[in-house]
Amino acid sequence: MGKDALLEVKNLKKHFSLGKERILKAVDGVSFQIKKGETFGIVGESGCGKSTAGRTIIGLYDRTEGEVIYEGENVHKMTGKERFAFQRKMQMIFQDPYASLNPRSTVREIISEPMEVHGLYPDKKERLERIYQLLEDVGLNRDHANRYPHEFSGGQRQRIGIARALSLDPEFIIADEPISALDVSVQAQVVNLLKDLQRKKGLTFLFIAHDLSMVKHISDRIGVMYLGNLVEQTASTNLYKNPLHPYTQALLSAIPIPDPDVEDRRERMILKGELPSPINPPSGCVFKTRCPLAMDACQTVKPEWQEAEADHFVACHLYNKDTDGRQKYSQAMGIK
Ligand SMILES: Nc1ncnc2c1ncn2[C@@H]1O[C@H](COP(=O)(O)OP(=O)(O)OP(=O)(O)O)[C@@H](O)[C@H]1O
Ligand SMILES: [Mg+2]
């Protein structure tokens, strides 16, 4: 991809110091690129570092190691005017629509604030018109402008969060589980809204979710995250057809298939045990403690991030051409 990447994340790490030399490795070396106009999904279970990755990419957290390059510029080295300009270009929609809106501000004030900070629409009447337009863009209306967040449903609040993120006319949006706090009945509406806005405004998305069934519909490419690491990445259709990493296979097997015959015959891959602590992550492969196919190599050697087939990356010894991984995998799965 290289040249046409809008965002490049290179070996990004974010470690939190918990005192007494205890370090929590929330994000521990992830790399991916996103093209303009594309939606890149990140999935993984709770605590694997998705939000921390998003917050570090947008510069809310400084990074521990690695680089985030947006339009050729290093996000963590931007200062002054450059940083201010970047804040307009990249916006975030937060995971919790209840906690991310100030309960003492009206919707008008919430949407207006970023524009005031950036000196956009200095004319009050024009700014109000802009607020009304944004409310309509997200499926609300001008009568909502003078109400407070508690007067809205979860889905409506998330729409307010989206209107706020759009107020600066950004190019790139990090949507951090924008629908997981919402009722199933309104999840699809918010996803459709985001897709619509993407088409109309030419937005690029980093879409974070813990559930593969949801990212599938919205993402062009998907990265699967486990304990601070990316373990697999490919085009979203390919991830469903040909998942390589045992963790991805387990995530996919947890999604019900609508056809009852197929569903009955299908073998589920249940993951044993809990997500290990990112304070003392396992040595070797981070997934080894839960992997049904773990081999000797997985105990001590961290698998490299490699291109197993065109545009399909995986970090797993099963696909290392130098080991007999494929053979063992075939044996374990009963494939001749
Ligand atoms: N500010 C912080 N200080 C210390 N530890 C943190 C901080 N923020 C997150 N963590 C820890 O980093 C790890 C990753 O957290 P993160 O919120 O990024 O996970 P997540 O994948 O977004 O999970 P979820 O799906 O539940 O939102 C967790 O172990 C979490 O406890
Ligand atoms: Mg999160």
Name the residue of 24, 25, 58, 63 to mutate for ligand 1: max ligand atoms within 8 A of Cβ: 24
Q: How far is the C-alpha of 83 from the C-alpha of 140, rounded, in Å?
A: 31
Nearest CA to ligand 1 atom 13: 26
Q: Whose CA is nearest to atom 27 of ligand 1?
A: 46
| pLDDT, position 336 | 45
Nearest Cα residue to atom 29 of ligand 1: 47
Predicted local distance difference test score (pLDDT) of residue 325: 54
- Element (H or E) spanning 50, and its range? helix 50-57
**For residue 50, how far is its CA from the centre of ligand 2 (angstroms)?**
5
Of 12, 13, 14, 16, the residue with max ligand 1 atoms within 8 A of its CB, to mutate for a pocket test, comes to 16
Tell me, what's the pLDDT at 263?
63
CB of 115 shorter than 6 A to ligand 1: no
Centroid of ligand 1 to alpha carbon of 26 (angstroms): 6
CA of 172 to the centre of ligand 1 (A): 23
Q: Is the CB of 24 under 6 A from ligand 1?
A: yes
- Which ligand 1 atom sits closest to the C-alpha of 54? 18
Q: Strand, helix or coil at 172?
A: strand
Measured between alpha carbons, how far apart are the two ends of the chain, in Å? Answer: 36
Instruction: Return the number of other C-beta atoms located less than 10 Å from residue 20's C-beta.
Output: 5
Cα–Cα distance for residue pair 108/97, rounded to 1 Å:
16
* Contact by Cβ (8 Å): 112, 66: no
The pTM of the full predicted model, rounded to 2 decimals, is: 0.90
The burial of 280, by beta-carbon neighbours within 10 Å (0-12 exposed, 13-18 middle, 19 or more buried), is given as exposed
Residue 224: predicted pLDDT: 97
What per-residue confidence (pLDDT) applies to 270?
Answer: 73
Mutate to test the pocket of ligand 1, among 25, 52, 94, 275 (most ligand atoms within 8 A of CB): 52
State the DSSP H helix or E strand holding residue 230, giving kind and residue range, or none if neither. Answer: strand 229-235
Q: What size, in residues, is the chain? A: 336
Ligand 1 centroid – CA 262 distance (Å):
36
- Give the tens place of pLDDT for each residue, 145-175: 999 999 998 889 989 999 999 999 999 999 9
- pLDDT of res. 104: 94
Give the pLDDT confidence score for residue 335 in this predicted structure: 47
Q: Find, among 288, 307, 309, the residue nearest to 297 by Cα.
A: 288
Q: Residue with the nearest Cα to atom 5 of ligand 1?
A: 16
56 C-beta closer than 6 A to ligand 1: no
pLDDT at 259: 67
Task: Please count the CA atoms within 13 angstroms of the CA of 255 that sit on its side-chain side.
Answer: 14
Atom 28, ligand 1: residue with shortest CA distance: 47
pLDDT tens by residue, 78-87: 999 999 999 9
Q: Is the CB of 47 under 6 A from ligand 1?
A: yes
Which residues of the chain register pLDDT less than 50? Answer: 335-336
Which protein residue has the closest C-alpha to ligand 1 atom 9? 52
Atom 2 in ligand 1: residue holding the nearest Cα: 16
